[in-house]
Structure 1
Amino acid sequence: MPASDTRANREDMDLIARAARAGGEIALSYFRKDPRRWTKENDSPVSEADLAVDRHLAEALQAARPDYGWLSEETADDSSRLAARRSFVVDPIDGTRGFLAGSGEWTVAIAVVEDGRPVAAALFRPVGNDLYTATLGKGATLNGREVAVSGQPVLSGASVAGPKSITGQGPMMRTGISHAGYVPSLALRLALVAEGRIDAAVVRENACDWDLAAADLLVQEAGGRLEDLDGRALAYNRASVRHPALVAGPPALAAPLRPILAQLLTNP
């Protein structure tokens, strides 16, 4: 990798880490204070907090990198991002349902994507003051400490996070896994895999770029994989931002999880 790219990735990571912290502080000003809320066309909730964080991040990041594209869950999509060499991929509040319910399991997720893959990532969990960061080829950290995926070698005894409708089904349970619970923020669920606090995770189809891009780089740089059921890495900042069902974890667990998840989704 050219030195200039490494330097640019680090500078972008520092930028988005500061932005994620600032966005988290804005979100906290609404947290557990009954912010105005409504439902979007896809029946997912959104609140005034989501929009306030989105506005701040758009202003701060686009001012700092005016040549970058912009993709955010709470901003109307503009196809001009497809022509940008680098793009920000942002979820102002990942886990809005949990946020509105008073759960602390929500995050501000920001990635910089180049040529379809994340090269810098910042994921901030304000309740707990936890900041996950990663840059391509330089590892992943939590609050400045390097993290790594679990060393669990087999599914038997592995903790797997995801919807109970998947992890609690017979084909999963017969492997001997333990259900690690459901984390409202998908990005945080994957960050916990990167951190090694849970061994693996499964993701239903239709997650979007903003749910995944930052956490994808965290998992990758922590020694794991986030992949589809054919074992392929994900491509971001494409015309379609939706993704198929996914598994995340160390390679030793991701590989055997793929056919089990495929079976469950084919024969629910």
Structure 2
Amino acid sequence: MSDSHANLADMELIAGAARSGGEIALSYFRKDPRRWTKENDSPVSEADLAVDRHLAEVLRAARPNYGWLSEETADDRSRLGTARSFVVDPIDGTRGFLSGSGEWTVAIAVVEAGRPVAAALYRPVGDDLYVAVPGHGTRLNGQPVSISSRDRLRGSSVAGPKSIAARAGLTATGLSHAGYVPSLALRLALVAEGRIDLAVVRENACDWDLAAADLLVQEAGGLLEDLDGRALAYNRASVRHPALVAGPAALVDPLRPILADLM
């Protein structure tokens, strides 16, 4: 099977898994699921764990030779010795999920040689499915989407933490704050879709927050880079990343040095 065919087959697999995982999550949504706080002070619920178990069963059975990296599974690093790995966030935006917000997603990517080669991002509340493979563009519910065509910072919208978006150095550019999206993956998908012009990501986001959305942004014609202009590498020993910016090159290039002074 060629790489292109393998990527498309993997995309179909993870898209179906994201949908079925989303259905499981919906069965807990707004029903006060049991919840805990992890060591890094982030929340996790019985819904996260149920979706994680389901995705592991479905995906690892279908591709037993692939590695596995999930926010809710202990990392034994055996993934590092595999050609391809699943990178999974069972519920991206758990805080939003637990508060009753509809802005949470199931995010799944397949990573090879450090880069995503298939992506599926499903937003159950709204039944929105984003998918991408290299060279085939990004699709939302079967229709192609593309990055914003804006070429000036003034008047463009930026999504991200208010603590960053509201800083004087950023507001002086004329950017407008598009609000905070609890799911980081969804925030980036909205950039890929062109609904938001730019997104800013604080340091320490992890592979599972980013890998699927990274491919969505790239295939929609945009960039997701660190503040030195470098693309991200996934499925490494460390899964954490520095501060990032996403959007069209015409906006990312002038914004990077401004953010570097602020973050």
TM superposition score normalised by structure 1: 0.98
Matched, 1:164 2:162: yes
- How far the C-alpha of 1:216 sits from its partner, in A, is 0.0
Aligned to 1:72: 70
Residue deviations 1:7-53, cap 9 Å, x none?
00000000000000000000000000000000000000000000000
What is the CA–CA distance in structure 2 between the aligned matches of 1:119 and 1:55, rounded to whole Å? 23
1:186 and 1:64 mapped to 2: Cα distance? Answer: 27
Q: Which residue of 2 aligns with 1:106?
A: 104
Q: Which runs of 4+ in 1 moved over 4 A?
A: none
Match of 2:123? 125
Equivalents in 1 of 2:19, 2:203: separation in Å?
Answer: 29
How many positions carry a matched residue from both structures? Answer: 263
- Say if 2:191 is the partner of 1:205: no
* Structure 1 counterpart SS, 2:148: coil
For the pair 1:176 / 2:174, whether they are aligned, the reply is yes
Question: Whole-Å Cα distance in 1 between the matches of residues 51 and 242 of structure 2?
Answer: 28
Q: Confirm whether residue 240 of structure 1 aligns to residue 254 of structure 2.
A: no
Separation in structure 2 between the aligned mates of residue 264 and residue 227 of structure 1, nearest angstrom:
16
Equivalent residue of 1:105, what SS?
Answer: coil
Please report how far the alpha carbon of residue 78 of structure 1 lies from its aligned counterpart in structure 2 after TM superposition.
1.5
Give distance in 2, aligned partners of 1:16 and 1:250: 27
**Identity rate of aligned residues, in percent?**
81
Written as runs of structure 1 = structure 2, the 5 A alignment for 1:10-159 is 10-159=8-157
Q: Which one-letter code corresponds to 1:153 in the other structure?
A: D
Moved more, 162-171 or 121-130: 162-171
- The CA RMSD measured in Å over matched residues stands at 0.6
User: For residues 255 and 94 of structure 2, what CA distance do their matches in structure 1 show?
Assistant: 28
Partners in 2 of 1:193 and 1:70 — Cα distance?
27
SS of the residue corresponding to residue 2 of structure 2 reads helix
Please give the TM-score of this superposition, normalised by the length of structure 2.
Answer: 0.99
Structure 2: runs of 5+ lacking an equivalent: none
Q: 2: distance between equivalents of 1:161 and 1:259? A: 17
